[in-house]
Amino acid sequence: MLYWVIRFMVVSIVVSMVRVVIGPTVADRMIGLNLVAAQTLALLVLISVSMERTIYLDVALVYDIFGFVGILVMTRYFSGRKGEL
Amino acid sequence: MNVPAAVFFGLGVVFNIMGNLGVLIFPDAYTRLQASSTCSTTSVISFFIGCMFLVGWGPMFGRLLAITLFFFITSPISAHIIARFAWQNGMVAWRKSYVSMRGRERSDG
CA–CA gap between residue B107 and residue A57 (Å, rounded): 47
Concatenate the DSSP letters of all residues of B10-30 into one string: HHHHHHHHHHHHHHHH-SSHH
- C-alpha B109/C-alpha A16 separation (Å) is 31
C-alpha span between A11 and A13 (Å, rounded): 5
Number of structural domains in chain B? 1
Question: Does the predicted interface ipTM exceed a cut of 0.85?
Answer: yes
> What confidence category does residue B27 fall into, taking pLDDT thresholds of 50, 70 and 90?
confident
Helices (H) then strands (E): counts for chain B: 3, 0
pLDDT single digits (tens) A2-21? 889 999 999 999 999 998 99
Tell me whether residue B24 is in a domain.
yes
Count the residues in chain A.
Answer: 85
What is the percent of chain B where pLDDT is above 90? 45
What pLDDT does residue B98 have? 53
Closest residue in B to A19 (Cα–Cα): B24
B7 within domain boundaries: yes
Length of chain B: 109
Q: Which of residues 32 through 71 in chain B touch A, CB cutoff 8 A?
A: 32-33, 36-37, 39-40, 43-44, 47-48, 51, 54-55, 59-60, 63-64, 66-67, 70-71
Average pLDDT score, chain B: 84
- The structure's pTM equals 0.86
- Indicate the pLDDT class of residue B109, thresholds 50, 70 and 90: very low
Rounded Cα–Cα distance for residues B4 and B24 (Å): 30
Q: Which of B32, B48, B79 comes nearest A45 by C-beta? A: B48
Split at pLDDT 50, 70, 90, the class of B108 is very low
Range of the domain at B74: 3-88
What do you get for the CA distance between the two ends of chain B, in Å?
Answer: 53
CA-closest candidate to residue A48, choices B55, B62, B69: B55
CB within 8 Å: B75 and A38: yes
B67 Cβ contact list (under 8 Å, min separation 6): A41, A45, A57, A60, A61, A64, B48
pLDDT at residue B97 tops 80:
no
Whole-number pLDDT of residue A85: 59
Closest residue of A to B60, CA-based?
A54
CA angle B32, B8, A4 (to 5 degrees): 85
